[in-house]
Amino acid sequence: MKLMTDRENVKIIAFVGLAGSGKSAAVEYLTEKGIPKIYFGGIIYKAMEEAGIEITWESQKQFREEIREKEGKDFVVKRVIKEAHDLINAGQHRIVLDGLYTWSEYKILKHEFPAAMSVIAIVTPKHERKTRMAKRTERPMTPQEVDERDWAEIENLEKGGPIAIADYFVHNDKTIDNLHAQLHDVLRQIDFID
């Protein structure tokens, strides 16, 4: 009988979805249980701060595309992988990835963590996402800005691929309790939580 190593017990969840779908609420559901997260956007924000660039929707969009063009499509994911390995080496067996965007990132992560990573797409009707984005206290967006962001992320950042090929789909079009119940069911299926 083969003994399981600590690395074989590692499970990584990556939430994907368009803006306003509820990825942050899904991530928060797990971080409240003490599961550490690695935030892709945080890597971009840190790089923007280091470059002295004010963080706005427009500057973030432009910087995200320019840094990936300049440094490569794997700019963010290389840093995410390093942080994930640091957490695993520190004894963490469960990790949440918040903000997986591109097809390239997806392929690199699946190659790096083939058995450990599961992708959960959070999907929400567009009209509901637009309503949520308009009500945001941090970086609210108009319906037109939501459309522009969707198009930019699908066309320029290949965001549709990871959503389309996700291992599981959670429909976030009801209450937060309903979202949590669906997440709980999926996470139990993959032995991520008890």
Q: What is the pLDDT of residues 85-121, one digit of tens each?
A: 999 999 999 999 998 988 989 999 999 999 999 999 9
Domain coordinates of the chain in residue numbers? 7-189
Question: pLDDT digit string (tens) for 15-74?
Answer: 999 999 999 999 999 999 999 999 988 888 888 999 999 988 789 888 988 888 888 878
Nearest to 46 by CA among 79, 78, 13, 22: 79
Q: Does domain 7-189 have CATH number 3.40.50.720?
A: no
Q: Report residue 56 as tokens.
A: 């706005």
Which DSSP string do the residues of the chain spell out, in sequence order? -PPPPTGGG-EEEEEE-STTSSHHHHHHHHHTTT--EEEHHHHHHHHHHHTT----HHHHHHHHHHHHHHH-TTHHHHHHHHHHHHHHHTT--EEEEE----HHHHHHHHHHSTTTEEEEEEE--HHHHHHHHHH-SSS---HHHHHHHHHHHHHHS-THHHHHT-SEEEE-SS-HHHHHHHHHHHHHHTTS--
Please report which confidence band the pLDDT of residue 3 belongs to, taking 50, 70 and 90 as the band edges: very low
Please report which confidence band the pLDDT of residue 4 belongs to, taking 50, 70 and 90 as the band edges: very low
Question: pLDDT digit string (tens) for 159-188?
Answer: 999 999 999 999 999 999 999 999 999 999
pTM beyond 0.75: yes
Res 141: pLDDT: 94
Q: Report residue 161 as tokens.
A: 């691929």
